[in-house]
């Protein structure tokens, strides 16, 4: 592992260290860690998902190539923060029976389903898995899209306020819309050139 990758993971671990310090020192209860762990997971997922469409829109450049090079790390880190979010949930609930009792709630099962999609993508986030799975690898990795949407719905239902979830969803909707428009324009130009 290169020193740059080590530095990246040290930076990605800083919020974890801060949350664990707060919890261990008694400054915060497990329930107070829901928001920071969940938001960090969502923001890292967003960063991992934005770079692909942005490269399509703006074309490859040094900045986007560097961002693309760490995309998988951002996705795995997002999963780790999702796991931390889940760990705080288990600590706060105190017993498995209480966790099971809450499963039928839409605000809860959306979070579980999001985590399941993230787990599937994170479990094959290695070069070896990419080689072994071939084309199937990309299909499984695309599970991050429903994972992200479900995480936003989970947040919205828990907070009963769509605002924060929509703020996190908006950048993706914007770049996807721009990418679709750009593809339509390119197809139209290609048709004109071949006509």
pLDDT digits (tens, 9 = 90+) for 38-59: 999 999 999 999 999 999 888 8
CB 125 within 8 A of CB 143: no
**Residue 128 belongs to what domain range?**
3-194
Among 56, 52, 54, 16, smallest CA distance to 36 is for 16
CB 81 within 8 A of CB 16: yes
User: Structurally, how many domains does the chain consist of?
Assistant: 1
CB 154 within 8 A of CB 181: no
d(CA 43, CA 69): 18
d(CA 73, CA 127): 12
* Helix residue ranges per DSSP H, 59-104: 62-69, 71-93, 96-102
Question: Mind listing the pLDDT tens digit of every residue in the chain (195 residues)?
Answer: 688 889 999 999 999 999 999 999 999 999 999 999 999 999 999 999 999 999 988 888 999 999 999 999 999 999 999 999 999 999 999 999 999 999 999 999 999 999 999 999 998 888 888 888 878 888 888 889 999 999 999 999 999 888 989 999 999 999 999 988 888 888 877 777 776
pLDDT digits (tens, 9 = 90+) for 93-102: 999 999 999 9
CA distances 47 to 41, 75, 107, 169, Å, are 10, 8, 24, 12
CB 144 within 8 A of CB 46: no
The model's pTM is: 0.90
């Amino acid at each position: 592992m290169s020193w740059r990758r080590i530095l990246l993971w040290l930076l990605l671990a800083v919020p974890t260290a801060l949350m664990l310090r707060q919890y261990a020192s008694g400054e915060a209860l497990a329930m107070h860690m829901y928001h920071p762990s969940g938001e960090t997971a969502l923001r890292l997922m967003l960063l991992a998902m934005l770079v692909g469409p942005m490269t399509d829109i703006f074309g490859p450049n040094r900045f986007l190539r560097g961002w693309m090079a760490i995309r998988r790390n951002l996705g795995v880190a997002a999963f780790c923060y999702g796991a931390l979010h889940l760990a705080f949930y288990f600590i706060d609930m105190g017993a498995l029976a209480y966790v099971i009792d809450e499963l039928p709630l839409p605000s809860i099962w959306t979070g579980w389903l999001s985590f399941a999609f993230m787990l599937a993508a994170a479990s094959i986030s290695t070069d070896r898995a990419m080689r072994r799975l071939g084309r199937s690898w990309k299909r499984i990795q695309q599970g991050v899209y429903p994972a992200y949407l479900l995480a936003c719905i989970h947040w919205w239902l828990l907070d009963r306020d769509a605002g924060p979830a929509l703020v996190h969803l908006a950048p993706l909707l914007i770049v996807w819309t721009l990418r679709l428009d750009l593809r339509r324009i390119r197809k139209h130009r290609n048709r004109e050139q071949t006509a």
